[in-house]
Amino acid sequence: MKTWCKTRWRSNCNPHFFEYQYVTMFRYFWLFVFSGLCWACQTEKKPAPVVLTAILDGKAMLSDSTTVPIPHYGDTSYTIFYCVRHAEKIKNAGDNPGLTPEGEARAKRLGKILADVPIEKACPTNFKRTILTSELARKEMAAPPPAESCPPDFQVMWVDEKLSTGTGKQYLIVGHSNTIPQLLNHLKGGTEFQDIPDEEYGRFYIVVSKGIGQTEVVELQY
């Protein structure tokens, strides 16, 4: 009887049996709840990023239906530069790679954003990835502007020339992860802009300038 009690009716013989079962069930319950919360956190959808969709009538139109006014738009004493890094490039393709399919799609999207903007000229550097970004963008514009290729080392000089030869115009500049921040720092007269991270291609800078140190920059994503 003693052996039978130990093996078949432990609950009747052990006063701590129900306490042990309760504690175990309690632990498993909270483990289940905690696991569910972790799963919910991991699978919760992140809100879609707000990106630039168009520029119309001096306003940047965003994907969340809001707008950002372009400073001094319509004031002919200012020049506007739309500055972007080239679109996604092919990796491990030498020193002068072309664009990936994703990069080509981004370049076309850039052109659609600027489709109704009276761009005076598009200025890529003399590298394939910037030229292709500029060409694909220009084809999407209502009135494709002429292109004027400029080596990276002369891009700052090119901007200074445009500021001195006539204001009130708008330009597209397609550069690199280091040359675009250098250009912005030159126009701002400071050092606040750092090199763009290697994996980032979606920054869109609206640069409104009256001269060195008289420049405002609106930074968006596209």
Is the pLDDT assigned to residue 17 strictly greater than 60?
no
Is the pLDDT assigned to residue 39 strictly greater than 70?
no
In this prediction, residue 47 carries a pLDDT of 84
- Spans of all domains in the chain: 2-43, 71-221
Is the pLDDT assigned to residue 222 strictly greater than 80?
yes
In this prediction, residue 12 carries a pLDDT of 52
Other C-beta atoms closer than 10 Å to the C-beta of 122 total 26
* CATH class for the domain made up of 71-221: alpha beta
- CA–CA distances in Å: residue 213 to residues 141, 188, 190, 207: 31, 5, 8, 12
Q: What is the pTM of this model?
A: 0.80
Q: What would the DSSP string read from start to end of 157-205?
A: HHHHHHHHH--S-EEEEEE-TTHHHHHHHHHHTS--PPPPPTT---EEE
- Residues 3-15 have pLDDT tens digits of 444 444 444 555 5
In this prediction, residue 7 carries a pLDDT of 46
In this prediction, residue 167 carries a pLDDT of 85
- Residues 55-100 have pLDDT tens digits of 999 999 999 999 999 999 999 999 999 999 999 999 999 999 999 9
Residue 133's DSSP bridge partners are: none
